[in-house]
Each structure stands twice: as structure tokens, then as C-alpha cells.
Amino acid sequence: MLNKASSIPLHMQLANVLREQVIRRELGPNDRLPSERELCQQYGISRITVRQALSELAQAGLVYSSVGKGTYVAEAAYQEELQPLNSFSQDLERRGMQAASQVLEASIIPADDLWSAIFYIPRGAELVRLHRLRLSGDVPIAIQLTHLPHHLCPSLLEYDFSTCSLYEVLRSAYKLRLARSETVLEASLASPQEANLLGLPQPAAILVSTQTTLLDTGIVIEMTRSTFNSERYKLRMHL
């Protein structure tokens, strides 16, 4: 049931419940969600609240609506992780490459509406923002922009992420159990800043990966947007 005394808005709580059902495969691709009326009755909430929750799920690409028929789970909800939950450094080391990182930014920011919906936290709640240039030796390989809910990893920025592995810190220092990730890939053109950081002439093609990492509880712990120099780094799919 939803907690009406919580500071988290009811529509976010409902969106989280439905999202977890999708993640746990209780609802499969193209399965129909309960109707707005059924959700209202089941959770004791208004139709406006239900519609807000469904709208957020639709914006995240988890569901889609068919006029006159209802709301369904989207195929995009099942983008599978391309690699196990290993760090970028571990991946490079497996390839015989020397991993290094340069921290471009490490800060605490307030969550806007988008991040509030992604992490199911109140608007204005603290987020960790970690922006890093990832290298193999002195050669830039990727740019990573990571966001995490600060309440799940308080004082995270006390660690030096030019040398520390983020995943290792989350696992060892905070005892968080990273269960799975969802990755979406797309090809794009590098922005002037991205081209400069990656040492690419413009126009330059890049590979962009957006990874959402979840704990064993179904809670989103991290979202990372990685911009890869496609000439120097290839993603490998593990089936």
C-alpha cells in the first residue's frame, strides 16, 4: 500500500510500485496495466494521482497508452544490461588496458522534477553529481556523468573518485547490493565540449550509453550517461 504520511508524493509512490512490478517481471512487455479506476480503488487515491504516475512512467519509456484500450508495458522497459555489474576500471583491466580517471565535477545538487521521478525522491532532495573523464593511460576513452540519491550514500564525495571505483565504494562502504542494470544505447554526434574532452575532430560520431542501476530492493541507486569515443572503445554484449 501507499504511505499517505510520507513526504514522497503519492503519484511517485504509485509509479515506484508499478515500476518494480515491471522490473521484477510481474508485468511483461505489452501486458496491460490495471485500469485507472482499478488503481484508484486498489490504492485509495484519486484519478488525477493515477494519471500523474502513468504519465511519469510513460515519459521514462516504461509504458505506453492505446486510446480506448488502456496502458501497457513498453518493450523498452526490458533493455538488458550489456555487461555484468563491473566497474569501468575492471572492464578496461580485463581488456589489458590501464584505467585512469579525471574528476571534472563532484557536487551535491537539488533534484528537479526529472530526477525526482527517476529516483522517486522529493523535489529538492540531494543528489550526488559526479562527472568524470575516463582514460586508458593518457588516452581519453569516455566521459561519464553519474547521479545518485545522496541519502543512500551519505558523504560519498569524501572519496577520491580519481582513484576509487564507484561500484566498489557503494558495495564495500555502504553495503549496497547492486542487483541489475538497464542500458540504452544510441549513436550521436559529439558536442564541442565532448569532442574537446575526447580529443576528437568535429564532426565526430560517438556512442552514448545511459545506464540505470538498481539495488536488490528494486530502488534506483545510480544513473550514468557515458559518452564513448567509438574508435577506441567497443561495447561487448554478454548473452
| Domains contained in the chain, number | 2
For the whole model, what pTM was predicted?
Answer: 0.62
Question: Is pLDDT above 50 for 77?
Answer: no
How far is 71 from 63, CA to CA, in rounded Å?
Answer: 7
What pLDDT was estimated at residue 124?
93
What pLDDT was estimated at residue 136?
77
71 and 95 fall within a common domain = no
Residue 238 — pLDDT band, cuts 50, 70, 90? very low
Using alpha carbons, list the distances in angstroms from residue 62 to 75, 169, 185.
8, 30, 16
What pLDDT was estimated at residue 79?
38
68 and 94 fall within a common domain = no
Domain that holds residue 157: 88-229
Q: What average pLDDT does range 54-68 have in this prediction?
A: 78
Question: Is 39 part of any domain?
Answer: yes
> Average pLDDT, whole number, for the chain?
82
Question: Is 194 part of any domain?
Answer: yes
Q: How far is CA 213 from the centre of its chain?
A: 6
Question: Distance between terminal CA atoms of the chain?
Answer: 36
- Report residue 129: phi and psi, to 5°: -120, 120
What pLDDT was estimated at residue 235?
53
Q: What is the CATH number of the domain that holds 20?
A: 1.10.10.10
What pLDDT was estimated at residue 223?
93
Grid cell for residue 1 = 500500500
Amino acid type, 32 = R
Q: Looking at 121-130, 152-161, 171-180, 185-194, which range is the least confident one?
A: 185-194
Question: Is 236 part of any domain?
Answer: no
How far is 163 from 191, CA to CA, in rounded Å?
Answer: 27
Q: What average pLDDT does range 122-127 have in this prediction?
A: 93
